[in-house]
Each structure stands twice: as C-alpha cells, then as structure tokens.
Amino acid sequence: MITQAFTFGTDGDSTSLVNAKASLSHPLADEVSIAIGSGHYARFPYSVELAFFKNGEWVTDILPEFAACADAIAGDTRVYAYVPLIYFAQFLENYGTGE
C-alpha cells in the first residue's frame, strides 16, 4: 500500500513527477520510494524510478531483482532508473506488506 505521496515539478515540466512510498518485507529493504511520471529516470506508464531504504537509511547494495536498472552509487545513495512497471508490480506482489 502506498503510504505517502507528494508532487514535485510543475504541469508541463519535463521533470513533473509524483513520489510515493510503500512498505516492504524484502531482506535488503523495508521501504521503497517510487517516482511516477515523466522526467528524470521515469517514463510513466512504461517505467518508474525507484530508491530503497532499510531502517530509514539508503540501501546502496544492488537489489538483485533490479540489477539491470541500478544506477551508479552517488555518495551514499543509489536509484534504479526506468524500471519497467510490470517488473515493479510483480516485485510489490512478492514483497509489498500491504501496510
């Protein structure tokens, strides 16, 4: 279940995205941040940008399910660019907590 959502960018702006968070029961992460829209690293309805967290901290280890989409570590952060929506939906089916 999506627990939080907010919008950044402006209508018509190439970086207009909605960001949401969902709880997970994955061994490496307990939360995912999802950038939905059309902009940097996301092209909805085809793909989204993801970032994973464990105990409030960025997960910089690569999640195997999304290794092909993993961006390079930037400081202490890592994002997953252009993750196909169908793959993310299956991941949520397997690891989403529904909370």
> DSSP states of 1-42 as a string?
-EEEEEEES-TT-TTEEEEEEEEB--SS-SEEEEEEEEETTE
Preceding omega of 45 cis (within 30 degrees of 0): yes
pTM equals: 0.82
Q: pLDDT at position 54, please? A: 98
Q: pLDDT at position 15, please? A: 55
Distances (CA, A) of 78 to 1, 10, 62, 74, 93: 23, 25, 8, 6, 23
Q: pLDDT at position 53, please? A: 97
Q: How many C-beta atoms lie closer than 10 Å to residue 19's C-beta?
A: 17
Q: What is the pLDDT along the chain (99 residues), one digit of tens a residue?
A: 455 544 544 444 445 678 889 999 999 999 999 988 877 788 888 999 999 999 999 999 999 999 999 998 888 999 999 999 999 999 999 999 977
